[in-house]
Amino acid sequence: MENNGLTRSEIEAGRKLFAGEWQFVAGAGSPQSLPSPRGIEIAFAGRSNVGKSSLLNALTGRHALARVSRTPGRTQQINFFAGGSDLVIADLPGYGFASAPRQKINQWTGLVRAYLSGRANLARVFVLIDSRHGLKPQDLEVLGLLDRAAVSYAIVLTKIDTIKAQNGEPRVAETEAAIKKRPAAFPTVFAVSAIEATGIAELRGAIARLLAERGAAV
């Protein structure tokens, strides 16, 4: 039996990968303060209110690894987390509707651009999209940035529990069609709910497969 093309062994590998003790290891507010690359990194990006912190907490089984804020845009740096494997998670600053001055937003954009262009160990960026709204112009701008930088990325539809069940598969299909011709896009779209744990095991398994393909220790 397979889940989104994943075998049971890959799903189990994903569970074990995220079962360790995850901890915050570094924060970078400028390109100069980025930590030296180590292991294999994956990054999570998304609009400021897309539920990124909740998803990171669900993946790692922690309640407060990534801070969940009621005020979108409070994360103003790239935060790095590590567990007991070669995997390192980078939590990128949220984009769009950030409650911050334009100058600060431009600084965040410059930081993210510097990170994407100079991170040789970055295996994939997971771009989070609110399933209730689908791809928005700012999301497409980010996908264009990743395409131009030739950085592999995958789309994760968050909050899938908040839309009607019969609308879930059409939203996934619509999103997959929208990214089909994008050069750096991974073809599979993941639909998840941090609240109900929907799709979390599959996303973990996909990340475990990615590390295995890179020859990393999981």
Helix (H, G, I), strand (E, B) or coil at 106: helix
Structural domain total, the chain: 1
Q: How many CB atoms lie within 10 A of CB 32?
A: 8
Classify residue 218: in a domain, yes or no. Answer: no
Q: Tell me the backbone φ, ψ of residue 162, rounded to 5 degrees.
A: -90, -5
Q: What CATH number is given to the structural domain containing 39?
A: 3.40.50.300
pLDDT tens, position by position, 135-192: 999 899 899 989 999 999 999 999 999 999 889 999 999 999 999 999 999 999 999 9
Q: How far apart, in Å, are the Cα atoms of 35 and each of 55, 88, 105, 113?
A: 23, 11, 21, 15
pLDDT tens, position by position, 43-81: 999 988 899 999 999 999 887 676 544 444 455 789 999
Q: What distance in Å separates the CA atoms of residue 29 and residue 75, rounded to the nearest whole number?
A: 10
Number of helices (H) and strands (E) in the chain: give both, helices first: 6, 9
Pairing status of strand 6-7 against strand 2-3: antiparallel
Sequence-ordered alpha helix ranges (H) in the chain: 8-18, 52-60, 102-117, 137-149, 165-179, 200-213
Domain extent, residue 78, equals 2-213
Q: How far apart, in Å, are the Cα atoms of 52 and each of 9, 38, 94, 149?
A: 27, 23, 8, 22
Residue matched to tokens 């639909």: 191
Q: Provide the pLDDT confidence category of residue 2 given band limits of 50, 70 and 90.
A: very low
